[in-house]
């Protein structure tokens, strides 16, 4: 990816040479393609993780599938960029329209077998498209005849993104379970302390209601989940001193709970941060997948418009058809 981005640093000079004609404007098409795709970054990755990295095991099925699907998306992205750059190369190295069409046909014929298989066009149909491309008299007409190939690449991109999102969903679910298993004791203690804390607070509330004259509050206090020693619960009505004695006991118990909580709080916070990080990484991946889908759609339309004879490059990548992402080329726009 970095090598490709270094290569495009020379696109400015290429554009100056070739923007005098419709065919030459493929340089602008390549520039826009690179600007849109260069910031692609899918979130669920060990390199992007701080807390969750220890839960990734790349020898397990979910991780293997996720990595494979992410690599497929990378291949599709590189194919889009490589195709765009190749058009510039063809325009630069071939002076006549005929030579450009011939070079374009050679490029299509020599396309990697794995890419051709992914496009799912069939050998005979693909060969017929190349024949039609070679029969054209204008370079833009040749590009237009090849549009089914470009559309197939768009379908492949959609499929790989769908597969990646599904793999990421399975991977997140598995890691969620792993996190809960590692912090099972912390979760248990937190729930126990939380339950006891609210039971004590409930007892303190009942003591307050007793003082307000609630005749049923004392029975609720004795029958509730608040732990009160039997020796400080009298048989008859509670006096002020007895209520105060029970209140002191409950406050001491609350202090003990707070002390215990301080011991497990760091582990509990680490548990929560791990889950939150996993959620953020998964959301980032989904956002990026949505962004790449939109970029792919824009790219397909731009190629079709360029090949159909639309002269102005501004109309190929029409910002009115897309969000403000096209204004901020190369940034990680979120949709």
What token pair was written down for 94?
């071939």
34 pLDDT exceeds 90? Answer: no
Give residue-wise pLDDT tens across range 220-248: 877 766 666 655 666 667 778 888 888 88
Query: For position 316, what pLDDT does the model report?
Result: 73
Residues 179 and 217 in one domain: no
Residues 29 and 112 in one domain: yes
Residues 133 and 28 in one domain: yes
Residues 192 and 169 in one domain: no
Residues 267 and 151 in one domain: no
Residues 68 and 151 in one domain: yes
Q: In whole angstroms, what is the distance from residue 68 CA to residue 76 CA? A: 13
User: What's the number of domains the chain is made of?
Assistant: 2
Q: Which domain holds residue 228?
A: 185-271
Whether 179 is covered by a domain: the verdict is yes
Residues 173 and 190 in one domain: no
Lowest mean pLDDT among 110-119, 147-156, 251-260: 110-119
Give residue-wise pLDDT tens across range 196-209: 898 888 888 888 89
Whether 331 is covered by a domain: the verdict is no
Residues 173 and 197 in one domain: no
Residues 29 and 176 in one domain: yes
Q: Are the beta carbons of 250 and 166 closer than 8 angstroms?
A: no
62 pLDDT exceeds 90? Answer: yes
User: Can you give the pTM of this predicted structure?
Assistant: 0.75
Lowest mean pLDDT among 22-31, 41-50, 110-119, 247-256: 41-50
71 pLDDT exceeds 70? Answer: yes
Residues 60 and 94 in one domain: yes
Query: How high is the mean pLDDT of the chain?
Result: 80
Give residue-wise pLDDT tens across range 156-171: 999 999 999 999 999 9
């Amino acid at each position: 990816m970095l090598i490709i981005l270094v290569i495009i640093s020379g696109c400015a000079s290429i554009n100056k040479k070739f923007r005098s004609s419709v065919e030459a404007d493929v340089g602008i098409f390549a520039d826009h393609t690179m600007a849109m795709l260069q910031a692609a970054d899918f979130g669920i990755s060990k390199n992007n993780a701080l807390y969750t990295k220890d839960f990734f095991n790349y020898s397990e099925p979910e991780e293997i599938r996720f990595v494979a699907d992410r690599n497929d998306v990378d291949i599709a992205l590189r194919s889009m960029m490589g195709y765009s750059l190749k058009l510039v190369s063809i325009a630069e190295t071939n002076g006549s329209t005929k030579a450009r069409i011939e070079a374009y046909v050679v490029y299509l014929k020599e396309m990697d077998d794995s890419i051709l298989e992914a496009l799912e066009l069939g050998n005979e149909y693909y060969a017929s498209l190349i024949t039609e491309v070679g029969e054209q008299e204008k370079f833009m007409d040749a590009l237009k005849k090849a549009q089914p190939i470009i559309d197939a690449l768009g379908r492949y991109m959609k499929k790989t993104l769908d597969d990646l999102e599904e793999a990421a969903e399975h991977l997140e679910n598995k890691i969620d379970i792993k996190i809960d298993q590692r912090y099972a004791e912390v979760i248990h203690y937190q729930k126990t302390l939380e339950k006891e804390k609210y039971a004590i607070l409930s007892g303190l509330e009942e003591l307050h209601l007793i003082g307000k004259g609630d005749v049923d509050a004392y029975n609720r206090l004795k029958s509730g989940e608040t732990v009160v020693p039997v020796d400080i619960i009298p048989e008859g009505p509670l006096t002020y001193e007895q209520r105060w004695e029970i209140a002191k006991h409950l406050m001491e118990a609350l202090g003990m709970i707070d002390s215990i909580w301080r011991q497990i709080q760091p582990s509990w916070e680490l548990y929560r941060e791990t889950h939150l990080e996993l959620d953020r990484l998964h959301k980032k991946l989904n956002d990026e997948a949505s962004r790449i889908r939109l970029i792919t759609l824009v790219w397909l339309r731009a190629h079709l418009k360029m090949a159909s004879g639309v002269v102005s490059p501004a109309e190929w990548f029409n910002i009115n058809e897309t969000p403000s992402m096209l204004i901020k080329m190369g940034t990680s726009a979120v949709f």
